Amino acid sequence: MTMTIDDVDTVVRALRTVLADEQILTGKADRYNRARVPAPFPVHRWSERLPDLVVLPTSTEQVAAVVTIANDLRVPVVPRDGGTGLTDGAVPLRGGILIDVKRMNQVHELDLVNRTVTVGTGINMLKLNEYLAPYGLFYPDNPASYPCSLVGGRIGTSGWSLIGSRYGHTRDLVLSFDHVLPTGEILHVGDGIGGKITKSSSGYQLKHLFMGHQGTLGIATKATLKLFPKAEAELSPFWAFDNYDDAYACTGALARAGVATFAGAVLFDEHKVAYLRRDDEAYIPQPTDVRALVCAVMYGYDDEVRAGGRRLFRIAKEHGARYLGDEISEGDWAARHDRYATPLHGRTKDGQVVPMSWHCEDAAINYSQLPGVTKAWHEIVAELRRRTDVFDDWGMFAYTQGSTGADYLTEIDVGIWEQQLDDRAWELWVNAKRDIARVSIDHGGSISACHGSCREGEVDLVPEELGRGFEVMLDIKRTLDPHNIMNPGKYHLDRAYREEG
Ligand SMILES: Cc1cc2nc3c(=O)[nH]c(=O)nc-3n(C[C@H](O)[C@H](O)[C@H](O)COP(=O)(O)OP(=O)(O)OC[C@H]3O[C@@H](n4cnc5c(N)ncnc54)[C@H](O)[C@@H]3O)c2cc1C
């Protein structure tokens, strides 16, 4: 059973044996600043999610020393990188020590021959790519949170990249890393034990076990990443459609075409177009008969991107697409990282503009199930909206995950009037999230494609989705974290510590 800190002074005294004073923060502002993630939560309940103290380690050894102390004193530890995670993974549910890794942002080694880079997990992809640009290389993990999420958080969530159909996602791009276990021991995981090996079959595939665990199995501190030549050309056509069905058919055809430079396709549904038209100041006005949008993206050398592009344009035309032109296409694709700038307002039922925060629910859904899931999810949000003005439907995206177009990251965006999120509205929302997750499972999908699902509501269905696999998770958790100190309360993993009988 994990304990909360009764005596912060005892912990601080122990930490001072391994960290400098200025690496240990106990002030209110320092703690409140790290209690927040972008996903809306009732404002009156924020104080429930405060760490007791924050540490700023600079090396794997310091992280290991902190975790060892926490394990000895039975104090919760929560890893936090950019704090952009959307399922509360970096939010402390039981107080304790929050480990902020932002000072571990060094580039340790650039290997131009094997094309890898080894970095502290506190670095983010934008900074890393600024460093790599003069070498003609880039690291293509490209979430919409590209400038603000960090490599460690990408490992902690097993993140998903907007150009993953061409280059793979975080789990493919991270070759290996140093990892601090919940007991404070340090291990190196990769394919085999190799720092820069991309494929091995010796032993269990531990790299995947230590990715996407939301900080419940330890902390990644130093990672070796795969690099690619910086793309010479990028082509990102946006096409307009007068109905969802044609846009859906077109998206599938683009993804299945097998064009090597294809990096991804995105389908915006009618609700999303309506929301953009209504409330996104950055949206470029379209004729009113535009009801759905499709974007495709290609990366590579100029000559191959041109050839691939010609094929995709032909496919789009066959599906009734109207090309929106270079200016709109380039501008809209360039805006893919600006989602923090999404207008922070929504509308009440009578059209009144009110301040709202953005929440998204994501799932991995097979192509064939997309229309059914899209319809069911909108109905759930419509029912919420019928009951209270706290929620607004901001529409849906579906993004290809891989080059075959088998399954999609499917996301519904919901505006939430956070200041009005009282206990009743919160309960409605938690139930709705559970319903949204239920739809995913009923359609043969997964509750989450990238963010994880450790928030209230959908987390209840994780045991059902994983079946016997969830029990294996409990066994692993209990074995690696005997005192349940790593990010306790997440993923219902506390069940691993319940007394038998
Ligand atoms: C505007 C916006 C757009 C987004 N777009 C995308 C997108 O396109 N694709 C996508 O995948 N996600 C997206 N996200 C979600 C978020 O950016 C990702 O989940 C990201 O991987 C989180 O990284 P972070 O550094 O912010 O991690 P944090 O939020 O700090 O942590 C995330 C989780 O990982 C754990 N963790 C943190 N550091 C470590 C570590 N070093 N070792 C082990 N565990 C750790 C934490 O405890 C937590 O459970 C978006 C978020 C926002 C706000």
In angstroms, the first-to-last Cα distance of the chain is 16
Ligand 1 touching residue 76 (CB < 6 A): no
Nearest atom (ligand 1) to Cα of 84:
26
* 159 in contact with ligand 1, CB cutoff 6 A: yes
* 97-114: pLDDT as tens digits: 999 999 999 999 999 999
Host H or E run for residue 316:
helix 302-318
CA of 24 to the centre of ligand 1 (A): 23
Q: What is the model's pLDDT at position 18?
A: 98
Structure confidence at residue 14 as a pLDDT band (50, 70, 90): very high
85 Cα to the center of ligand 1, angstroms: 4
* Residue 166 scores a pLDDT above 70: yes
Q: Pick the atom of ligand 1 nearest to 154's CA.
A: 21
Strands (E) located in 56-167: 77-80, 97-100, 107-111, 116-120, 137-138
What is the 3-state secondary structure of 460-495? HHHHHHHCHHHHHHHHHHHHHCCCCCECCCHHHHHH
| pLDDT value, residue 339 | 60
pLDDT at 501: 47
Q: How many CB atoms lie within 10 A of CB 273?
A: 21
Q: Which range is most confident: 157-171, 194-208, 270-284, 319-333?
A: 157-171
The answer to whether the CB of 301 is under 6 A from ligand 1 is: no
Whole-structure pTM value: 0.96
Percent of the chain past pLDDT 70, that is, above it, reads 96
What does the mean pLDDT of the chain come to?
94
Distance 88 CA to ligand 1 centre (A): 9
C-alpha span between 478 and 488 (Å, rounded): 12
pLDDT at 268 over 50: yes
Question: What average pLDDT does the segment 415-431 reach?
Answer: 96
Tell me, using a 6 A CB cutoff, whether residue 220 lines ligand 1.
yes
List Cβ neighbours of 176 (8 Å cut-off, separation of 6 or more). Answer: 188, 189, 190, 191, 194, 195, 196, 197, 207, 223, 224
Q: Considering only CA atoms, which residue is closest to atom 21 of ligand 1?
A: 154
Does residue 75 register a pLDDT over 60? yes
Q: Which residues contact 200 (CB under 8 A, 6 or more apart)?
A: 191, 192, 194
Q: Is 22 helix (H, G, I), strand (E, B) or coil?
A: helix
Q: In 10 A of CB 50, how many CB atoms?
A: 17
CA pair distance 193, 176, nearest whole angstrom: 8
Least confident of 198-207, 273-282, 343-352: 273-282
Inter-residue contact 496 to 220 (CB < 8 Å): no
The amino acid at residue 129 is: N
Tens-place pLDDT, residues 302-353 = 999 999 999 999 999 999 999 999 988 988 888 888 765 666 899 999 999 9
| pLDDT for residue 342 | 67
- C-alpha 141 – ligand 1 centre gap (Å): 12
**pLDDT of 6:** 67
Identify residue 253 by its one-letter amino acid code.
A
- Give the separation between CA 454 and CA 158, rounded to whole angstroms: 14
Res. 174: pLDDT tops 90? yes
